[in-house]
Amino acid sequence: MKPLLLWVSLCLVGSTVSNAQSSIPHGTPERMFLPRDTFWGYAQFDLAPPHNEIDPNICRADAGNFGGVNAPCTAFARYMLSGYVEARPFGRGEFRRFLLFGEPRFLFGRNLPQTLYTWSFAGIGVERSWGVGIYMGKGFEMRWTQHFLFSRFGSRDRNLGGADLGPNGPWGRYNMIGVRKYFGERRY
């Protein structure tokens, strides 16, 4: 009985090792809804050095002229936390070409060009977009994207004085249809 258990356990360990080497065994169909590789994406943290702040187009570039270091419009970012998430919810059939995606960018800081440079992590706001796409073959995707207005956080969600440019943010609100072409292969 013990040799039989030893043989079964060795077979199970061997099959686990071979399954680890090949992610999907040949002939095994992928699940129809929410396959193993449904989500793909990345997160990124960026730091802008002094005299090179991120401008979300909330305040005029000469905002320092409206109060110097005490000017109310200090929405020039030092930090950006951004990301991209893509979901392909179907694993089989023609629907496997369908995808959903989202791309938020959070901005933080309290700076004025040529006037005030700080390392503050005060929240400024979020710029976001989302969309749907379909893979057309040979590396081409067609995408529909909805981009929203810049959403301000907390005390910056009001008029910030004479240098305030209004609610449009860097790109304003828009929809677009685009075609993306993938090429090459990543080395890692």
Segment 104-141, tens digit of pLDDT: 999 999 999 989 999 999 999 999 999 999 999 999 99
* Burial class, 185, CB count within 10 angstroms (exposed 0-12 / middle 13-18 / buried 19+): exposed
Encode burial over 73-102: b for 16+ CB neighbours within 10 A, e otherwise.
bbbbbbbbebeeeeebebbeeeeeeebebe
Residue 15: inside a domain: no
Check pLDDT > 80 for residue 58.
Answer: yes
**Number of domains the chain is built from:** 1
Check pLDDT > 60 for residue 68.
Answer: yes
- Which structural domain, as residue segments, surrounds residue 81? 30-181
Report yes or no: 158 and 151 within 8 Å, Cβ to Cβ: no
Residue 1: inside a domain: no
Residue 106: inside a domain: yes
Residue 107: inside a domain: yes
For the segment 56-75, the average pLDDT, to the nearest whole number, is: 91
The percentage of residues in the chain with a pLDDT greater than 90, rounded to a whole number, is 60
pLDDT value at position 26? 55
Residue 17: inside a domain: no
Residue 19: inside a domain: no
Higher pLDDT pick, 134 / 155: 134
For the segment 20-48, the average pLDDT, to the nearest whole number, is: 78
Residue 172: inside a domain: yes
Residue 7: inside a domain: no
Residue 41: which pLDDT band, with cuts at 50, 70 and 90?
Answer: very high
pTM exceeding the 0.85 threshold for the entire prediction: no
